[in-house]
Amino acid sequence: MGARLDLKPMLKPRSVAIVGASRDPDKVGHVILQNYLNAGFPGRLYPVNKTADKILGLKAYASVLDIKERLDLVVIAVPAPAVPAVMEECGKAGVKAAVVVSGGFAEVGNADLQAQLVSIADRYGIATLGPNCLGVMDPRSRVDTLFLPTYKLSKPQIGGVSFMAQSGAVGSTVLDLISGEGFGLSKFISYGNAAQVDEVDILDYLADDPETNVIVMYIEGIKRGREFIAAAKRAGAIKPVIVLKAGKTAAGVKAAHSHTAALAGDYEVQESIFRQAGFIIADDLSDLLYYAKIFEAEPEPKGPRVAIVTNGGGAGVLTTDALGASGILSMAEFTRQTSEALRKAMPPLVNIANPLDLAGDAGEERYDKALAALESDANVDMIIVIMLFQTPGADSASAAKLIAYKDRSEKPMIVISIGAGYTEMHKRMMESAGLPVYDSPADAAAALAALYRYSLFRKRRSQPSR
C-alpha cells in the first residue's frame, strides 16, 4: 500500500484557484466561483482565465503560475484535452491538491488521457480528485466545488454525516434529500473516475476525521481490493459506515463501467467484505437516508427490546409485525412496576400492553406519562413512538413533548408519523430538533435493526480474543 494521500488541502484550503472560471453564467467555472462566493469562503480565491481581467469582481490570472501565493487547491474546469497542461502548471506552482471536474476521460474510452493526468499528479505529489466528478463540499470550511446552481440544490445544515459518492448525480440528489431530512452534513466528496484519489483514500480520511460521526458511501467499483479491505475494517471499527453498492448485476456492472469507468467486480465478494467490516448495507437511496439519520441522532442500544407507544391501534399492530420481520428485534415485556405505574396514570380505555395504545384522543399529557414510565423500565432498550397527527389530541405541544424526551433520554427513540400537510409540518419540527421521523413501520424497524446490528458488531470487536 502506497503512502496515504493528504486530502486536507482539498477540504480545508486557505487558498483556491479555479481554472476555467468564466464571466459566462452558464459555464461550469462561473458557477463554481459563484458558489465559493455565496458560501462565504474565508480564504483567498483566484479565478484563472486567459482572456479575462476580472470575474465576479476578482482579479483574474492567465495561469496558476502567475499567482504569487502557493495554492492549497486548484479546481480544474476546462475541456479534457487541456487538463494535462494545466496539471503541469499546477505541479510547477507547487499546488497541493486538485479537483478535476472535467469529463471526457476513461469513462468515454480516453484511458491514455486519464493515465497522463495521473502520471503528472503522482510526479508532483498533487492529491487529485476526479476527473468526471462534482468534487467536494465542506460546510464548516465553506468549500464548494459543486457546479450546480444554488437555486437548484438545497444545501444541508452543518452536521456529522459525511457522504462519499462515485456518482455526482446520485451525490447531488442525496444532498438535496438530506436537507429535507433534518440531519446535517460534515463533508461531501464526489470522486468520479477515481483516477488517483479513490475510495480507499477517502475512507481513510473520513475514519480519522473528528468532524465525521457517520460515513455514507455510494460506490460503483473498488480499485484496490486489499487496501480497501484494510481501510474498511479500520473505518467500521471506529464509526458507522453505511454503504450502497451499485453494479450488482451483469447489466449494472456494464452501466457502472460506462458511467465512471469503474471495475464493479463480484458483488457477493464485496458484500462479504462489507459485512466483515461491520458496514450497514443499504439497498436503495431511501435506506441511505433512513440509516444515516438514525446513526447521527441515536445512541447505541443496550439490547433488542422495543416498546411501541401509539395513538392508533392499527399502526401499532403494523409496527409490531415490522419488528418481527426484522429478524433481530423483539417486543419488550414491561416490568410489573411499569405496568402498575401506567395503569395508575392512564384512563381505563388504555390497555396496558406492548404496543401501548394511548387511544385516538391522546395528547401531550398522556404521551408524557407513558414515556416517563418506559424510560425507567430496564426491560425496554428502544422506543418507537407513533404519533398520527390526524387524531384530535396530537398537536404541536405533543411534538414538543417528544423532542424534550429525546433531549434527555439515554435510549434510542424514533417516531413514526404518516400524513401530508399538518403532519409534514410537525415532522420537520421534530427532525430539525434531531428526532428521527419515519414514514412507515417498515422503514422505522429497518433503521432500528441496523442500529442494533452495529452495536452488536462493536461489542464483538471490543471483546478480548481467546
Q: Which amino acid is at 339?
A: S
Does residue 437 sit in helix, strand or coil? strand
CA distance 169 to 190: 9
- Residue 383: its pLDDT value, please? 98
Do 1-134 and 299-461 fold alike per CATH?
Answer: yes
- Residue 1: its pLDDT value, please? 41
CA distance 63 to 18: 10
Q: CATH assignment of 1-134?
A: 3.40.50.720
- Residue 154: its pLDDT value, please? 80
Sign of CA dihedral 233, 238, 242, 243: negative
Cβ contacts of 345 within 8 Å, gap of 6 or more: 369, 370, 373
Order of strands across the sheet with 15-19?
Answer: 44-48, 15-19, 73-76, 97-100, 127-129
Q: Which amino acid is at 39?
A: A
CA distance 126 to 122: 6
Question: Per DSSP, which regions of 166-293 are E strands?
Answer: 185-190, 214-219, 241-245, 280-281
Q: Longest C-alpha distance within the chain, in Å?
A: 81
pTM above 0.75, yes or no: yes
Closest CA to 262 of 305, 270, 463: 270
pLDDT digits (tens, 9 = 90+) for 202-254: 999 999 999 999 999 999 889 899 999 999 999 999 999 999 998 765 554 55
For the chain, the domains span: 1-134, 153-297, 299-461
Q: Count CB-CB contacts under 10 A for residue 392.
A: 10
35, β-bridge pairs: none
Q: Are 170 and 163 in contact (CB under 8 A)?
A: no
pLDDT digits (tens, 9 = 90+) for 312-351: 999 999 999 999 999 999 999 999 999 999 999 999 999 9
Closest CA to 244 of 294, 287, 210: 287
- Residue 64: its pLDDT value, please? 98
- Residue 95: its pLDDT value, please? 98
User: Which CATH number is correct for 153-297, 3.40.50.261, 1.10.3660.10, 2.60.40.10, 1.10.1740.10?
Assistant: 3.40.50.261
- Residue 182: its pLDDT value, please? 78
What would the 3-class secondary structure string for the chain be?
CCCCCCCHHHHCCCEEEEECCCCCCCCHHHHHHHHHHHHCCCCEEEEECCCCCEECCEECECCHHHCCCCCCEEEECCCHHHHHHHHHHHHHCCCCEEEECCCCCHHHCCHHHHHHHHHHHHHHCCEEECCCCCEEEECCCCEECCCCCCCCCCCCCEEEEEEEECCHHHHHHHHHHHCCCCCCEEEEEECCCCCCCCHHHHHHHHHHCCCCCEEEEEECCCCCHHHHHHHHHHHHHHCCEEEEECCCCHHHHHHHHHHHCCCCCCHHHHHHHHHHCCCEECCCHHHHHHHHHHHHHCCCCCCCEEEEEECCHHHHHHHHHHHHHCCCCEECCCCHHHHHHHHHHCCCCCCCCCCEECCCCCCHHHHHHHHHHHHCCCCCCEEEEECCCCCCCCCHHHHHHHHHHHHHCCCCEEEECCCCHHHHHHHHHHHHCCCCEECCHHHHHHHHHHHHHHHHHHHHHHCCCC
414, β-bridge pairs: 384
Quickly name the fold that domain 299-461 has. Answer: Rossmann fold (3.40.50)
Does residue 127 sit in helix, strand or coil? strand
Phi and psi for 362 in degrees, rounded to 5?
A: -65, 135
Backbone Cα Rg of the chain: 25
Positions in the chain short of pLDDT 50: 1, 252, 256-259, 262-263
